[in-house]
Chain A
Amino acid sequence: MSLWTRITGWMVLLFGLGYFLLPLLGLFEFSLKARRGVYSLDAYAKVIGDPEFQATFAYSVMMALVTIIIGVLIVVPTAFWVRLKMPWARPYVEFITLLPLVIPAIVIVFGYIRLYNTSSFLPLTGTILGTNILLAMGYTVLALPYMYRAVDTGLRTIDVGTLTEAAQSLGAGWFTILGKIILPNVLVAVLSGAFLTFAIVIGEFTLAALLDRPAFGPYLQRIGANKPYEPFALSVIAFGITWACMGLIQLVTRFSKHTKAAS
């Protein structure tokens, strides 16, 4: 390894790291400047005290949890069934789960608005509950690629066929097998998918804004146009949540490696 290569390598890396750290530093510094002349947490205090923040944040957390539950209920049985009974269908199912990466979210929600309007066969946008359901389904679609891949990878590490036969010979039904055998065995994968889903949903803007639901993303964008420092404090919080979710994914993955090594 020549000296030049080393110097170039360091320069590229430091340039890259500088590029990534500066905006985070800038964001954090700016969020502390609400009081003239000194750094303070005023912007955070104001934001956290804002009832609209509390309401939109609670709404988005709720949505994220609902999305995770729907996602698990759809993805785990499907991935399990495909592995067990229909391995030939796997490429097709996988292809469908990757479609949300191809079709932009704004196009999907455009379709929702036109397809499920008040004069359609399923007038979901006509009621608040209906729109909430639609939003949750939309989020589940957005999270589908990540959730499916996580669970499918998790299923690869266990012997689905043998576990199922063993459970069946002891008289277990499908619900028992899924709930008591498969789910606990792929729990780490499901958790990774769940945290990623949480990170995606909590700050999501496009779907919530176009379906006109009071979520955190649109709220952030709205006060960004009106308030000087609060949106920056909120962005720090949002980044903290993303960071925490990714950290938790690392943690559960590492934890599972240790338990596997021990057994």
Chain B
Amino acid sequence: MSNAPPARRRLPLTWVGLLPFIIFVTLFLILPTAHIVIGAFQDRTGAFTLQNLRDLNTGTIPSSYWISVKISAASAALGCLVGFGMAAAVIFGAVPRWIKAPLMTFSGVASNFAGVPLAFAFLATFGPVGLVTLFLRNNFGIVLSRDLGFNILSFWGLTVTYLFFQIPLMILIITPALEGLKREWREAAMVLGATGAQYWRMIALPILFPSILGTFALLFANAFGAVATAMALTGSALNIVPIQLFAQIRGDVLGNPNLGYAMAFGMIMVTAVANVLYIWLRIRAERWLK
């Protein structure tokens, strides 16, 4: 990118053109977020305090953060694994190349098909009277919840549901990285006597590693902030952070407004760390994959 030197000598009124944008993001993005962050460090009288952050360690809050982190990590890890496998199968020619275009289009759709409808799709399939549940019961006598210990309204149920938008996101992001692996690298390795496994272990995976880890961080943040799917699927059965925050916003269930701010602040922190990791790793990855 060409960074032209700041044109300071020109009319000092150039920035006026950005005024609508600046006013918009200040009013509807920056100020509301700042209000939450500042509130997290205030007590009821408005004085500075760290007590709210300390109080995050009380009641059901730590367990809700823990279960949120577990679901986000599990769905991100599985999403990375399956998404990588599917993208690799298409890019490296294990399956016909024409599959790539429809797969990418579908990924674009599915990565946006989150929210309430997604929850119903999984209820209709793996729920108590869902398609797969009935099929297994009527044809094989297998009861999902009893014999396999699977319940859609549980940790694994939610994780499997999240995969529906996690896998496509992985495919969308990792495909360009896989396409950036140069054929010459593989050939050079082969000429030097490397086996396929050695090529992957010592060349391809180290190059791809920042991309994969970065995408993992992005998927993690993606799952951590998701509200609607979980709400529609489990109601309040599964006490994850967004659901608890939702209840707090609706009716101050924690009995302390500033504790609610602290919870929201915690959410921003988690997703911010994950995103910073993503950006940093992507910059690293681009050294090789241009």
Contacts and interface: CB of A to CB of B under 8 A. Distances in A.
Interface string B86-122: 1011101111000100000110111011011111111
Nearest to A82: B18
Contacts, number: 254
A258 interface: no
B228 interface: yes
A200 B271 contact: no
Contacts of B18: 78, 81-82, 86, 89, 93
A171 to B, nearest CB: 20
Interface of A: 1, 5-6, 8-10, 12-13, 15-16, 19-20, 22-27, 29-31, 73-75, 77-78, 81-82, 85-91, 93, 96, 99-115, 122, 137-138, 140-141, 144, 196, 199-200, 203-206, 209-210, 217, 220-221, 224-225, 231-232, 234-235, 238-239, 242-243, 246, 249-250
Nearest to A6: B94
Given A104-B268, A220-B116, A29 B85 contact: no
Contact of B36 (A6, A107, A246): A107
Contacts of A221: 116, 228, 231-232
A214 B120 CA distance: 20
A16 B227 CA distance: 25
B209 to A, nearest CB: 20
* B interface residue count range (under 10 / 10 to 19 / 20 to 34 / 35 or more): 35 or more
User: Which of A82, A96, A111, A217 has most B Cβ within 10 Å?
Assistant: A111
A26 B124 contact: yes
A96 B31 CA distance: 13
A199 B212 CA distance: 28
Nearest to B82: A16
A26 B249 contact: no
